[in-house]
Chains A and B, each alone.
Chain A
Amino acid sequence: MTAETKIVPASGFDVERIRADFPILAKPVYDKRLVFLDSAASAQKPQAVIDAETYVYESEYANIHRGVYLLSQQATVAYDNARKKVAGLLNAASAREIVFTRNATESINLVASSWGRANLREGDQVILSQMEHHANIVPWQMLREEIGIELVVIPINDAGELVWEDYEQAFTSRTKLVTMTHVSNALGTITPIAEIIRVAHGHGIPVLVDGSQAVPHMPVDVQALDADFYVFTGHKLYGPTGVGVLHAKAEHLEAMPPYQGGGDMIATVTFEKTTYADIPQKFEAGTPNIAGVVALGAAVDYVEALDRQAALDHEQALLAYATERLSAMNSITIYGTAAEKAAVVSFAIEGDHPHDIGTILDHEAIAVRAGHHCAQPVMDRFGIPATTRASFGIYNDFDDVDALIDGIARVQEIFG
């Protein structure tokens, strides 16, 4: 496509300035401009996050909650401040409601293991959707093996939206928990999570929300949602790997038994009896990822300093443009056509396997995800083994979409 005919929609968001914050975007891949379209798997990191992690190790590092010396005190303050920042990001009622974990997977496992074992009995039902990530399926299946709970799966329609009537009618006297994604990683669907929680609470049932794909794209207010548990992972929010977040209402955390035992989560220990620390320390046994947590705090600062509405509008403009251009191509099917979507496009090219598509796009320095996206039930729902997925972050621009389209044309040229 020539420059004359290229129609570049404007979004009023200074993406060039954002791109300059991410050093990896300036580094060519195969001598070409990197077109990074896999932020839903893991986002790239701004210099501020990289610097924050480095600064901890260079200048303020020691173990936390232990030493009486200056460095330990500085590290402790930085760690605790990051907790306040995350609480602010989610508008949690208190920083006490924020537990740091390794990732969203561990956050869900924590709830399944601690809250689940304490509250679920044989025959009890947990409601989830057909579009959950494996991280929000397998921990509950493990409880099914262990306790004999039942999983009630709410189907999705052809557009990839939750079948609402089925959800409303799924509640029984044995329902004990709803665990649901806020945004589908495979399809991009934004679920009506506020309504989902309202209906569950109408039955007196708590709700866990997997917000891994939501927090990077949109403001989330756990108090407005009235979410009982809300989990996400730092590395998709432009933060470091190795830090996840569990937000839970204090009343739940206080009633839950510890997840793991060890140092940092105790008040007193004798061989006869141990008393546990207050929340959230009760759930943070052992030395945590100190530098990672501080760097996640820097990622929160970075994201909150953005005009979040403008960032969201920009991503939505990219989604609309990518959807329009893909739809105009031959032999392409888009999976996930919900009315409300985050900036994720999952698609298939007739006759071409996603793995081949991924390799050919890689040659053009275009990074996409090819596979089942850790959501095999979604693939089964649409009768496909895998899709190719392009997912957008704040640093993507319309040139990235054009590159993707040109790359797909190259795929079709090679495979005829």
Chain B
Amino acid sequence: MSDLRELYQEVILDHGRKPRNFGPLEDANREGHGHNPLCGDKLDVHVKLHDGVVEDVKFEGAGCAISVASASLMTEALKGKPEAEARALFEKFHALTTGTEEIGLDELEALDKLAVFSGVRDYPLRVKCATLGWHTLNAALDQDEDMVVTE
């Protein structure tokens, strides 16, 4: 069994307690709604997409430390990134948290702070928490107004 601190790293605890970019986004033009029925977590992601670039992104909702910290760090990572890069980053993040493929050093670098979620791969039941914000972001970018449900 891995150490709990691998999962609950200081950065995660910090962002879980004090999420960044948390709240409404007035001039958002993309909205996503996410729900994890297993634990009742609900997150909304607001995106301001302009000329294919994520100019601003914020989120709101309630969830566990993992899901809130993940959404918080996601918003920090995405600001100013082209949409295609944002989607590619989710692919890398997904691979990191599920452990489905080896992550190269280059990719770890690209993930930057998001690499703190590597511990999640030892907790298959918590992968949904870590990816809820990202799935919701994807729905926003796809202009899918339906609730994203992770089950």
Contacts and interface: CB of A to CB of B under 8 A. Distances in A.
Contacts of A198: none
A355 B41 contact: yes
Interface stretch (B57-65, B81-89, B98-106, B136-144): B57-65
Nearest to B128: A355
Contacts of B41: 353, 355, 385
Contact of B39 (A30, A353, A416): A353
B1 A386 contact: no
Nearest to A363: B4
Interface residues of B, number: 20
B131 to A, nearest CB: 14
Given A30-B1, A363-B1, A414-B4, A355 B39 contact: yes
B4 A379 contact: no
A372 B149 CA distance: 16
A355 B64 contact: yes
A354 B38 CA distance: 11
A370 interface: yes
A372 B40 contact: yes
Interface residues of A, number: 20
A405 to B, nearest CB: 18
A416 B8 CA distance: 12
Interface in B63-116: 63-66
B40 A385 contact: yes
B126 interface: yes
A15 to B, nearest CB: 28
Contacts, number: 51
Contacts of A379: 40
B42 A356 contact: no
Nearest to B2: A363
Interface in B2-55: 4, 7-8, 13, 17, 38-42
Contacts of A415: 13, 17, 65
A415 to B, nearest CB: 7
Given A359-B123, A385-B40, A385-B41, A353 B1 contact: no
B127 to A, nearest CB: 12
A355 B129 contact: yes
Interface in A362-414: 363, 370-372, 376, 379, 385-386, 414
A360 interface: yes
Nearest to B123: A359
Given A359-B123, A360-B4, A385 B66 contact: no
A359 B62 contact: no
A118 B41 CA distance: 40
Contact of B66 (A356, A370, A371): A356
Residue of B17, B39, B63 with most chain A CB atoms under a 10 A cut-off: B39
A353 B42 contact: no
Contacts of B126: 355, 359
Contacts of A360: 4, 8
Contacts of B66: 355-356
Contacts of A356: 8, 64-66
A306 B31 CA distance: 58
A36 B65 CA distance: 24
Contacts of B42: 385
A354 B13 contact: no
Contacts of B7: 359
Given A354-B64, A371-B40, 13 more contacts: A30-B1, A353-B39, A355-B64, A356-B64, A359-B4, A359-B126, A363-B1, A363-B4, A370-B39, A372-B40, A385-B42, A386-B39, A415-B17
Question: Which 10 pairs from chain A and chain B are nearest by CB?
Answer: A385-B40, A353-B64, A355-B64, A355-B39, A386-B40, A356-B64, A356-B65, A30-B1, A372-B40, A363-B4
